[in-house]
């Protein structure tokens, strides 16, 4: 009996999830990755400073964590040690505090936020405007958006609740996310997936087999020739620094007056930097008209507060702006179901963190990958090829494909 064949474009977390899932179901899978290294945004820099592209952590209550654990793909993992929590700081009213306002914690526990209102409007009614603003700014840690208070109350509230949960939900793969990518790659190869790196496709392959496009939304738009394929995401300044260690440095500094935070990642995983050094990453969501320089100034201010004398201890530094690469955000009156559909028609399926699938951040890529493979295998069994025109027309389906 002929095996079902699937082509996957993109070797990031979503693409590798799709490849493993399809191969486990018995499909003949080929994966194309434009870069020489797999991983996409989950790639980790080479030693000595193993920095991810922005903050990367798994929420252990998320669906992808259980899936990876079942397959032995998580590897050693670290959590924030309880001893680090007293080194958490919050900037509020231009003053550094050891604890967030109690009202913010109470607001984070609520589960009744509506879809159709802004978070700021709803939260101001139930907890007061000052609490609402502080809570919205704290939620930026899981939205990467400069104004989470203007997003759907339900969207922002879910991220606030998970980010503020105690004990913390975050789990960190030792060695950075690249360690997980490497294990996923090995698993895919064991299952017979053909992986073609340095393989940049400028058009969809016309083999007649289903295709899973697991790229950024911008790349998918070009590849599919669909100018209507779009979604809103954040714009974030990323600053990574390596410092000589110093007693008394903060673990985490969160700006509740605006949005942004700084985290010392070697607190939970000392392998990310050489002994006696620490890796610190800052993330500052930028407003549409805000400059990179403004974001850097805000990041350095947080470093001044939490890591006194950091510039004299500086060993390594890099910065970048992530534009539209931080996951979907939902405006009032919309949910994940209103994002671009997974099923694009003609045997093409879309995977990524801005498509119509539930979850938080990378969970969206994971969930959409499983859904895309499920649809592809169900709709295109072995021996049946989808009709794909030689010159693919723009396909603007935006209805819900994953539930």
Domain-wise residue ranges, the chain:
5-52+177-232+334-379, 233-328
- Both tokens assigned to 320: 């970048």
Separation between Cα atoms, residue 201 and residue 221, nearest integer Å: 13
* From the candidate CATH numbers 3.30.420.40, 3.40.1050.10, 3.40.1380.20, 3.50.50.60, the one assigned to the domain spanning 5-52+177-232+334-379: 3.50.50.60
For 134-169, write each residue's pLDDT tens digit. 999 999 999 999 999 999 999 999 999 999 988 888
Separation between Cα atoms, residue 136 and residue 159, nearest integer Å: 10
For 297-325, write each residue's pLDDT tens digit. 999 999 999 999 999 999 999 999 999 88
Separation between Cα atoms, residue 97 and residue 134, nearest integer Å: 13
Q: Residue-wise over 161-172: b if at least 16 C-beta within 10 A, else e?
A: bbbbeeebbbbb
pLDDT score recorded for residue 119: 98
pLDDT band for 59, please (50, 70, 90 cuts): confident
Across the chain, mean pLDDT equals 92
Please report which residue ranges of 307-393 form alpha helices under DSSP H.
Answer: 362-379
pLDDT score recorded for residue 60: 83
State phi, psi for 120 to the nearest 5 degrees: -65, -40
Separation between Cα atoms, residue 230 and residue 220, nearest integer Å: 10
**For 233-328, CATH number?**
3.90.660.50
The residues, any chain, with a CB within 8 Å of residue 109's CB and separated by 6 or more, are: 161
**C-alpha count within 13 angstroms, C-beta hemisphere, residue 296:** 10
The residues, any chain, with a CB within 8 Å of residue 130's CB and separated by 6 or more, are: none
pLDDT score recorded for residue 398: 34
Yes or no: say if 345 and 338 are a contact pair by the CB < 8 Å rule. no
pLDDT band for 106, please (50, 70, 90 cuts): very high
Inform me whether the pLDDT recorded for 392 exceeds 60.
Answer: no
Yes or no: say if 355 and 52 are a contact pair by the CB < 8 Å rule. no
List the single range of 145-149, 231-235, 274-278, 391-395 with lowest mean pLDDT. Answer: 391-395
Q: Please state the pTM of the whole predicted model.
A: 0.92
Separation between Cα atoms, residue 361 and residue 328, nearest integer Å: 8
Separation between Cα atoms, residue 316 and residue 96, nearest integer Å: 26
Cα–chain center distance at 24: 25
Yes or no: say if 284 and 295 are a contact pair by the CB < 8 Å rule. yes
Cα–chain center distance at 233: 11
Cα–chain center distance at 167: 21
Please report which residue ranges of 234-382 form alpha helices under DSSP H.
Answer: 292-306, 362-379
Report which DSSP code applies to 394.
P
Which H helix or E strand runs over 262? strand 261-264
Tell me if residue 303 falls in helix, strand or coil. Answer: helix
Separation between Cα atoms, residue 364 and residue 101, nearest integer Å: 31
């Amino acid at each position: 009996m002929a095996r079902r064949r699937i082509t996957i474009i993109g070797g990031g977390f979503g693409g590798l999830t799709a490849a493993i899932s399809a191969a486990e179901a018995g499909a003949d899978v080929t994966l194309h990755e434009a870069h020489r290294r797999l991983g996409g945004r989950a790639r980790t820099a080479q030693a000595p400073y193993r920095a991810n592209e922005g903050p990367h952590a798994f929420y252990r209550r998320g669906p992808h964590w259980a899936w990876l654990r079942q397959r032995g793909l998580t590897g050693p993992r670290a959590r924030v040690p309880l001893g680090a929590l007293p080194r958490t700081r919050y900037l509020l009213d231009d003053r550094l505090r050891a604890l967030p306002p109690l009202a913010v914690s109470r607001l984070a526990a609520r589960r009744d936020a509506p879809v159709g209102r802004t978070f700021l409007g709803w939260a101001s009614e139930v907890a007061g405007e000052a609490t609402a603003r502080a809570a919205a700014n704290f939620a930026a840690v899981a939205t990467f958006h400069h104004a989470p208070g203007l997003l759907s109350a339900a969207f922002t509230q879910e991220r606030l609740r998970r980010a503020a949960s105690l004990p913390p939900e975050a789990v960190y793969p030792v060695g950075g996310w690249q360690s997980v990518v490497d294990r996923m790659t090995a698993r895919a190869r064991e299952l017979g997936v053909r992986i073609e790196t340095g393989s940049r496709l400028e058009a969809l392959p016309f083999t007649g087999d289903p295709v899973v496009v697991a790229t950024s939304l911008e790349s998918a738009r070009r590849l599919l020739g669909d100018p209507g394929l779009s979604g809103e995401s954040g714009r974030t300044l990323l600053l990574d620094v390596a410092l000589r260690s110093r007693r008394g440095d903060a673990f985490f500094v969160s700006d509740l007056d605006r949005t942004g935070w700084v985290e010392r990642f070697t607190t939970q995983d000392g392998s990310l930097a050489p002994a006696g050094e620490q890796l610190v990453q800052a993330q500052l969501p930028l407003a549409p008209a805000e400059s990179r320089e403004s974001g850097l100034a805000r990041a350095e201010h947080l470093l001044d507060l939490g890591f006194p004398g950091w510039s004299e201890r500086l060993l390594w530094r890099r910065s970048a702006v992530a534009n539209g690469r931080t996951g979907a955000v939902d405006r009032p009156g919309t949910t994940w179901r209103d994002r671009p559909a997974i099923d694009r028609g003609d045997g093409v399926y879309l995977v990524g963190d801005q498509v119509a699938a539930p979850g938080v951040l990378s969970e969206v890529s994971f969930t959409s990958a499983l859904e895309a493979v499920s649809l592809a295998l169900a709709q295109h069994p072995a021996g049946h090829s989808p009709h794909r025109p030689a010159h693919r027309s723009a396909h603007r389906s935006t209805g819900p494909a994953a539930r």
